[in-house]
Chains A and B, each alone.
Chain A
Amino acid sequence: MKTTNSAAGPGSSNVFRSSRSNRFKTGIVGWLFIALAVIMIAAFYFYPMIQALILSFQTGTGINMKFNGIGNYQRLFTDKMFLTAVTNTFIYLLFQVPIMIILAMFFSVLLNDRNLKFKGFFRTAIFLPAITSLVAYSIVFKYLFAPNGLVNEMLMNIHIISAPIQWISDPFWAKVTIIIAITWRWTGYNMIFYLSGLQNIDQSIYEAARIDGASAVRQFFSITIPLLKPIILFTSITSTIGTLQLFDEVMNITKGGPGNATTTISQYIYNLSFEYSADFGYAATVSYSIVIMIVILAFIQFKVAGDRNA
């Protein structure tokens, strides 16, 4: 810490114009303010990740671990279960995140209309799903989408379908159910970010566009979307990270079934560690695969979002 204290000088001098010894003292004080947080994050995030890295080269159960070289990593590439979990997770990601972001943007634009009545009601109503616990809403959805559940009954009453859909026990529909559930839970949450973004856009830009004869659709694509870029980036990164970690919903709606049609990577790690034979070494290897995916995807999204000045 001693070497870094001197570096703290310039930053703190603007709040503390005093003698040198005092400046030195504030340098230490600054580090003391952040010390607890740094220790906690190091102890409960970075240290475990180092442990996980070591574990990922070991095999065995419980405390009888032995070195296994790159064995776990080789196993990853031939593990069908892992492949299924990754494929499922990416199916959720590719469908759910874009659908949700488009819906969130769409509703925020509607809600931002100045002449809209009952704005507060609509905003609160659409946001409401975000206050529920993931477990609680998953159970509610599980029952609503049961074969004799209310969703099937309603769809049959209005003659959209003639026979009940197996929302939970059909491999295809089970994925659809999970996607519907997550979209229900998170659209309103993301909408709030877009609403705040829209409220920061200067209305005179739209007026100028109207005078130039730009249509509403044109205005949306040429003004709204470019100005919302930072928010689109923020919501897509947080949603991507969230979906890659998907666990609570799948665990409580389908338990990963039917077969392994809805299992996610997080659930596979949980199963490897606590449901099957406590294969901590291999579980750690699978964990590192999500870390790598998150880093790569976040990097791609930053690149795609590209120039921040837009």
Chain B
Amino acid sequence: MYLFLSLAAFVSIFPFFWMIVSSTNLSVDVTKGRLLPGTHFLDNLQKLTSSVDIWSAMGNSAKIAISTTILAMLIASLAGYGFEIYRSKAKDVVFSILLLSMMIPFAALMVPLYRMFGKITNFFPTFGIDTPAAVVIPTFTTAFLIFFFRQSTKMFPRELLEAGRMDGLTELGLFFRIYLPTMKTTYAAAAIITFMASWNNYMWPLVILQSPENQTIPLLISNLGSGYAPDYGMIMMAIVISTIPTALVFFLMQKHFVAGMVGSVK
């Protein structure tokens, strides 16, 4: 038992170990298979920052991931709450139709969305092709997240709403003053999932973002990695830097993260 688990743990952790160690070694040493921490951490960092603008890519990714997360939380929780609290047959039908969108692969949406944003560019260039807004707009509403909030709302104590109505709160007031503060853990889990998905998103930014100053972290890493004479130390440094935000989010909020994933199946 311990043998299997140790082997699995080793295989899972080894690539992380290798990428961290390699970010401190020179490219030649990495090729030779050096597995000990080196002294070239700063050299690699300097090489990286002088050859690509990693900080601007980090900034773009952060801007996109944070705005996606905020918008996603608002829209999906309003809808999940609406579907469950004001439940009706007609709304249940609408809900099942929304769920169908989960079956649509992104590759199928890519071409029509690209053409849509092409047209938008003519009228509103700030939301058109090659803008961060174009990355955020079609991705922040997902049926998965609405489903997730609806499932969690099933456990929300409705008596609280009755009490709030007695106190004369409006329907929207009930949502913001009572539901939102009560459901903090649900929001935390949903926010982590959304942030990670957005931070790591590759296909849509690849299609819609064109100029180098707009590129996100996955695009930058993909470009670095596709070179013919890669500088391993430098690329591993870029990968380590890009993984820090998601690793931090994971370790700080591990409990919510797992609760969030599991909550979606129940």
Contacts and interface: CB of A to CB of B under 8 A. Distances in A.
B78 A234 contact: no
- Number of chain A interface residues as a range: 35 or more
B203 A36 contact: no
Contact of B141 (A37, A133, A288): A37
A144 B141 CA distance: 37
A8 B75 CA distance: 21
Given A15-B85, A131-B243, A290-B107, A51 B13 contact: no
A52 B8 contact: no
A52 B112 CA distance: 6
Contact of A49 (B31, B98, B112): B112
B265 A231 contact: yes
Interface residues of B, number: 86
Nearest to B104: A45
A101 interface: no
A291 B101 contact: no
Contact of A48 (B116, B141, B165, B247): B116
Given A49-B108, A133-B246, A34 B217 contact: no
Interface string A28-52: 0111111011101100111111011
Contact of A294 (B83, B105, B140, B171): B105
B254 A124 contact: yes
A192 B258 CA distance: 7
A284 interface: yes
A193 B265 CA distance: 8
Given A128-B16, A193-B262, A298-B103, A133 B242 contact: yes
A51 B79 CA distance: 26
Contact of B200 (A15, A134, A265): A134
B221 interface: yes
Contacts of B1: 110, 113, 116
A125 B146 CA distance: 30
Given A36-B78, A38-B79, A49-B108, A126 B12 contact: yes
A297 B8 CA distance: 30
B202 A188 contact: no
B202 A245 contact: no
B155 interface: no
B158 interface: yes
B70 interface: no
Interface stretch (B46-54, B86-94, B124-132): B86-94
Contacts of A110: 1, 4-5
Given A16-B165, A134-B218, 9 more contacts: A45-B104, A48-B109, A113-B1, A125-B12, A133-B243, A140-B236, A241-B103, A245-B107, A290-B108
Query: Which 10 A-B pairs rank lowest in CB-CB distance, beginning with the nearest?
Result: A30-B86, A33-B82, A287-B108, A37-B79, A48-B112, A133-B200, A139-B225, A40-B141, A125-B9, A51-B112
Interface of A: 4, 7-12, 15-16, 26-27, 29-34, 36-38, 40-41, 44-49, 51-52, 55, 106-107, 110-111, 113, 116, 121-122, 124-129, 131-144, 148, 150, 153, 184, 188-189, 192-193, 196, 230-231, 234, 241, 244-245, 247-248, 251-252, 255, 265-266, 269-270, 273-274, 280, 283-284, 287-288, 290-291, 294-295, 298
17 contacts: A4-B90, A7-B90, A8-B90, A30-B85, A32-B82, A33-B83, A34-B91, A49-B112, A52-B109, A133-B217, A133-B243, A136-B239, A245-B105, A248-B218, A265-B107, A291-B103, A294-B103
